[in-house]
Structure 1
């Protein structure tokens, strides 16, 4: 079997396993989503047995049906895009809720994660190339931000730049004077303005890890024989740094970046809670608080597909960058 075929087969099996676990976990948790919704409706009036049966069907079928039948209905719903109805946002479909929250998380957490990776890798490359320089001596300071509890750093920046100086807004994802959310310039400006401080917090708290990892790999790579040979040939230092040292030193960071990029979809619950930012993280937290199993299941499904998809793409790119991995696979 070819390298591509082996990778696709592995990730398909991993996807099937993740979908199965996603199906079983909510059914092992205590509580019944049907009863939760009935309790909410009972406050408005009596709930008849017929209404209860209708709610049970609406929230994912008959719970008394055999497990294999429920599993088949679950897989059929995934293929057709029917992830059920949310209790928290009843009667809104789960897929519609995720579709509203996902762009906020991807735009904020995704851009911030990519920026943190690029800044960390770039500075780590320079710090490793120029060992003992002022930049290299700042590495412990940058990694200190990663050791600081994230919520503490977020609250500190929020207090300094939103409460004290009022440079950025205190909370929210956009200015609510805009009645309609859409691709117009005023709304985009507002969304960028509201998302700047959360993005800065993510970059500051995470780029130190990429910097330290890249710096250490650069130091290790510079002692390899092919670097010494390139220097003996009289090649330009910038070419040696970029084409020989950095290209090989960055390979371990690519795998870690794939995992980070996949988890972008899950959002940062702490970030979105501290800044009251609308996104998947806040949606997942509300689903957990309300025992909204359908919504939790839908969010976990999106996270699973995103993580596996990101890892598959980077795994294939890794094979192109380093042909040795294809030979070992």
Structure 2
């Protein structure tokens, strides 16, 4: 329990520091959100209009400590302010509309690539010298290929030349978002190419990492003793070798899960997919500081939460940590 208490205290301090930096950075950047909103209006803008927009956006001329206190008060109540690029929409609503698209697409694709890559890495290491070794040059090549290039090739081949899948968007624009069969079918067809791009470009890293760790673990004494006892090959491979070799991959997977909320910005931008990554791209283009601030906050908290889940997994998988705890 001491181990978990130490980790909880560490993540609490880290979360406070991240939230504080999230408060300070937008206020240190050049420009202001009210000027971005007012630039859309033609003609001269009165001081009353400027003050009204500043009040709506939550821009204050108070001292930095007073603003910091107000920021924490609004944050604890779930108020992330108003979005500039989607004005007068609230940041929480804008993020809520995009987060599920990203979680479903990036989350499922990342989980599939992790499982496939890890299993192939286990088999490639256990059966080294077999035909599975032929995957290594291909996976090494794919891991070196730029992410956006795979997306553009997939669009060109399967979208333009063959016409098998839609080119952009998350669903047909004439459809209403809901649980109708037509909408679900359209959403699935729009997600195939982005998902395949993520799987193809990321599976190589999981495979190579797991194979290298398995090769190290296989030579350990406890694996040799398990084989000498005459245990079944599957039990030795999965229960002894793979279980211990899996720990570094779990850390990488947790980091990937944390960054799911930010989305794969490149993929969502190339395919114009309506996720958090595409929202962040538009927020940067439009100097939408409140929206960027909200997205960065969610990314930070999700990364910390994912790492905490990894610590829990380590307690379950590694008996040495349980003894320490």
How far is 1:61 from its partner? 3.4
How far is 1:262 from its partner? 0.4
Distance 1:68 1:182 in 2: 44
Q: Which residue of 1 aligns with 2:77?
A: 80
Q: Which residue of 2 aligns with 1:231?
A: 227
* Counterpart mapping for 1:94-105 below 5 A: 94-105=91-102
Q: Which residue of 1 aligns with 2:2?
A: 2
> Are the aligned partners of 1:109 and 1:199 in contact in 2 as well (CA < 8 Å)?
yes
**How many pairs were matched up?**
325
Q: Which residue of 2 aligns with 1:11?
A: 11
How far is 1:28 from its partner? 0.9
Q: What TM-score comes out, normalization by structure 2 length?
A: 0.97
**Selected match of 1:111 from 84, 108, 112:** 108
Distance 2:3 2:71 in 1: 32
How far is 1:190 from its partner? 1.1
How far is 1:280 from its partner? 0.7
> Are the aligned partners of 2:3 and 2:324 in contact in 1 as well (CA < 8 Å)?
no
- For structure 2, the 5+ residue unaligned runs are none
Q: Which residue of 1 aligns with 2:190?
A: 194
* Counterpart mapping for 1:247-286 below 5 A: 247-286=243-282
> Are the aligned partners of 2:121 and 2:211 in contact in 1 as well (CA < 8 Å)?
yes
SS in 2 for 1:88: coil
> Are the aligned partners of 2:114 and 2:206 in contact in 1 as well (CA < 8 Å)?
yes
SS in 1 for 2:37: helix
SS in 2 for 1:125: helix
Deviation string 1:205-237 (CA, Å, 9 cap, x unpaired) is: 000010001111111111011111111111111
SS in 2 for 1:210: helix
Distance 1:165 1:244 in 2: 46
SS in 1 for 2:129: coil
**Selected match of 1:53 from 41, 51, 74:** 51
Distance 1:34 1:177 in 2: 33
> Are the aligned partners of 2:117 and 2:207 in contact in 1 as well (CA < 8 Å)?
yes
> Are the aligned partners of 1:61 and 1:70 in contact in 2 as well (CA < 8 Å)?
no
Deviation string 1:152-181 (CA, Å, 9 cap, x unpaired) is: 111011111110011111111111231x10
Distance 2:248 2:150 in 1: 28
**Selected match of 2:121 from 97, 119, 124:** 124
Q: Which residue of 2 aligns with 1:220?
A: 216
RMSD of the alignment, in Å?
Answer: 1.3
**Selected match of 2:155 from 158, 176, 185:** 158
Distance 1:323 1:184 in 2: 48
Distance 1:4 1:315 in 2: 8
Q: Which residue of 1 aligns with 2:66?
A: 69
- For structure 1, the 5+ residue unaligned runs are none
How far is 1:47 from its partner? 2.8
How far is 1:46 from its partner? 4.5
